[in-house]
Each structure stands twice: as structure tokens, then as C-alpha cells.
Amino acid sequence: MEDLRMPLTEHLTDLRKRIFISLGSVGLIFIFCFNYSEEIFDILIFPLKAEVKVVPYSPFFRIIEKTAVSLVFLAPAEAFWMHLKVAFIASLILSLPVIFTQLWKFVSPGLLPKEKKYFLPFLFSATLLFTAGAMFCFLVILPFAMTFLLGYKTVHLTPMLSVGSYVDFCLKFILAFGAIFELPLVIIFLTRFGFVTPATLASHRKYAVLAAFIMAAVLTPTPDAFNQVLMAIPIIVLYEIGILLSRMMHRKVQHE
């Protein structure tokens, strides 16, 4: 393949170019997002104002509005840094199509012509999966986690959250869930290029469950088991979805 004949210096030059374009995109969108950081922050406090109820009838999940816990800042610059973080993460998420495009352009010289046609499906799927993971976390996991953590055996306690710690907690969770929702796409590509097979994935299911809890322990912003379980369960479900998609891709590869 053409990519294998490229010298290392050309690879590094191309990588630097892709990183520069990605960072430039994030930087330009950051300017826009910072101007609206207050509005973005107003959206981000949704998990503090919502409580998720599981009911035995459709739609099975109900979101109930409640009185939000007041946020405080404990250092002079904490509120300012909060706005910077919120704007940066928002700009990073909005720049994902550009970042995924640059990632594809970096690896595409090593692909066969028939493999390069997967660019649009890759771009659409990668962006959609990350967005789905972030929204699932924001609308379901975070409200559930905040309700549990702030209400568990706190009858004689009054919660006082700093805005910095709350924003860090939410943004780390959102980014982590966005990343782990890319798992089915990663499995599809590994299957497409012959690195794994559906049988291998199925036979290593027990190791995948163990890896899910290890990943959850690393990715969750707090060390408590409750939040780790909240993240480990979606990883396991996504792995099972990845096995099903791997079987479909494997059959397609065999018929090519």
C-alpha cells in the first residue's frame, strides 16, 4: 500500500498538519462558544434540576423537575475557569466532524481504494455515536447519579457544591460516555480489517466484562462503585451490540 512506502518524516509532517487543523477548528469555535458560555452553563445544570424515575409503563423513564441545589464558587477565579472549561468542551464536541475527518485523512493513504469509500459512513457514525453517548449521559445518567449521590443518607447534611467540581464531574462523565459509545464502531473496523472475528469477541466476553469495570474505574471522575457501575453497564451493552455488528460485517467481508 502507498502508505507503507511513505517515510517517517512524511507521516509526522502529515500528523502535525492534521493536529493543527483540528486545533484550529476547536480554537475558532471556542471563540463563539465562550461568548455563549453562560447559556451553555444554564443547560449544564439540567442534571441538578431533574430526577429520573423508572416506571413500569411507557415511556418507562420519566424526568421530573425539582428544586436545584445552589452552586457556589470557592476561589476568585473558579467561576471564570468554569466558563473556559464549558466553552472548550462545547467547542471540542462541535469540532468532532472536523477532527474525525482529519483522523480519516491521516489513515486513508494506507487504505485500499475500495476501503476509502467508507469515509462518509465513518464520519456520520463516529459523530452520531459520540453525540448519542454524550446525550444519554446528560439526560439519563447524570440526573440519576446526582439524585442518588445528593440524596443518599444525607438527611442531616446540606449539599454545597462548588461550580468547579460540579462542572468537572459533568464534563468528564459526558466525554467518557461519548468516547465509550464509539466502541461498536471500533469493533466494526477491527472486524473489517481482520484484527478480530465475531467468534473471538464472543469467546472473550468474560474478559470484556472485566475490562468494562476496569475502564469504568479509570474513566469515572469519582472513585465510588456506584458511578463505576453506571459506566460499566453501558460498556458491556455496547460490546454485545459490537458483536452483532461484527457478525454482519464478517459476513459482508466473506462475500466480497
Residue range 38-53, pLDDT digits in tens: 999 999 998 888 777 6
Lowest mean pLDDT among 9-23, 95-109, 159-173, 209-223: 209-223
Asked whether residue 27 is domain-assigned, the answer is: yes
Q: Is 220 exposed, middle or buried (0-12, 13-18, 19+ CB in 10 A)?
A: buried
Pairing label, strands 50-54, 61-65:
antiparallel
Q: Specify whether the CB–CB gap between 66 and 151 falls below 8 A.
A: no
Is omega for the bond preceding 59 within 30 degrees of 0, making it cis?
Answer: yes
- Reported as a single tens digit per residue, the pLDDT across 108-161 is 877 777 777 888 888 999 999 999 999 999 988 888 888 888 877 777 778 888
Asked whether residue 86 is domain-assigned, the answer is: yes
pLDDT (0 to 100) of residue 69: 79
Asked whether residue 195 is domain-assigned, the answer is: no
Asked whether residue 8 is domain-assigned, the answer is: yes
Total domains, the chain:
1
Q: Specify whether the CB–CB gap between 96 and 103 falls below 8 A.
A: no
The larger pLDDT score, comparing residue 139 to residue 33, is at: 33
Asked whether residue 248 is domain-assigned, the answer is: no
- Reported as a single tens digit per residue, the pLDDT across 164-191 is 999 999 999 899 999 999 999 999 888 8
Gap between the Cα atoms of 99 and 106, Å rounded: 11
Gap between the Cα atoms of 74 and 115, Å rounded: 53
3-state secondary structure of 143: helix
The larger pLDDT score, comparing residue 224 to residue 228, is at: 228
CA dihedral sign of residues 21, 22, 24, 25: positive
Chain-wide mean pLDDT for the chain?
A: 85
Asked whether residue 79 is domain-assigned, the answer is: yes
Q: Specify whether the CB–CB gap between 130 and 179 falls below 8 A.
A: yes
Q: For residue 2, is pLDDT > 50?
A: no
Q: CA angle 187-90-211, nearest 5°?
A: 30
Q: For residue 222, is pLDDT > 90?
A: no
CA dihedral sign of residues 191, 194, 197, 203: negative
Nearest residue to 81 (alpha-carbon basis) of 4, 14, 163: 163
pLDDT (0 to 100) of residue 89: 94
Asked whether residue 216 is domain-assigned, the answer is: no
Cα distance from N-terminal residue to C-terminal residue, the chain: 19
3-state secondary structure of 139: helix
Domain that holds residue 146: 2-181
Asked whether residue 48 is domain-assigned, the answer is: yes
72: CB partners within 8 A, 6+ apart: 160, 161, 162, 163
Q: For residue 58, is pLDDT > 80?
A: no
CB atoms closer than 10 angstroms to residue 75? 10
Query: Strands (DSSP E) along 101-234, which ranges?
Result: 161-162
pLDDT (0 to 100) of residue 4: 47
Q: Specify whether the CB–CB gap between 40 and 117 falls below 8 A.
A: no
pLDDT-based confidence at 64, cuts 50/70/90? confident
